[in-house]
């Protein structure tokens, strides 16, 4: 995600939300899904994704299992029970933060117009 640095701090929430929503996914699949769902706007890099996934693993909010399909190993990442709690918390917190930022960006000089 080079095109804007707004992603910082939101990446793990987005990934966690995606895994909660779609079920277990493997890394490469996550990058494609985020790219597709964002209309090619958010291009997740491996150098961002894998460290983020490893942190979530060590935090106990994800776990992994592997499958081999056509000689290619896939490492699936899935949400743990505590991860589900965290997902709800973080999603709510991010949406709250977003609404605050939207208010801050809305020019008060324009409010008052009918």
Of 68 and 107, which CB lies nearer to its own copies in the complex structure?
107
Q: Does 54 bind its own copies (CB under 8 A)?
A: no
- Near DNA by CB under 7 A: residue from 40, 58, 73, 102: 73
Q: For strand 72-79 and strand 25-26, is the pairing parallel, antiparallel, or unpaired?
A: antiparallel
- Stretch 75-114 residues interacting with DNA (CB under 7 A): 75
Least separation in angstroms between residue 72's CB and its own copies is 27
Of 73 and 110, which CB lies nearer to DNA in the complex structure?
73
The 3 state secondary structure assigned to 10-54 is CHHHHHHHHHHHHCCEEHHHHHHHHHHHCCCCCCCCHHHHHHHHH
Q: Does 9 bind its own copies (CB under 8 A)?
A: yes
């Amino acid at each position: 995600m080079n095109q804007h640095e707004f992603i910082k701090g939101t990446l793990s929430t987005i990934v966690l939300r995606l895994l909660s929503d779609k079920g277990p996914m493997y890394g490469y699949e996550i990058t494609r899904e985020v790219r597709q769902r964002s209309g090619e706007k958010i291009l997740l890099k491996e150098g961002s994704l894998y460290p983020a996934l490893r942190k979530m693993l060590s935090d106990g909010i994800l776990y992994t299992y592997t499958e081999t399909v056509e000689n290619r190993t896939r490492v699936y990442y899935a949400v743990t029970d505590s991860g589900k709690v965290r997902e709800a918390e973080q999603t709510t917190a991010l949406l709250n933060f977003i609404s605050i930022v939207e208010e801050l960006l809305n020019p008060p000089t324009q409010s008052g117009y009918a």
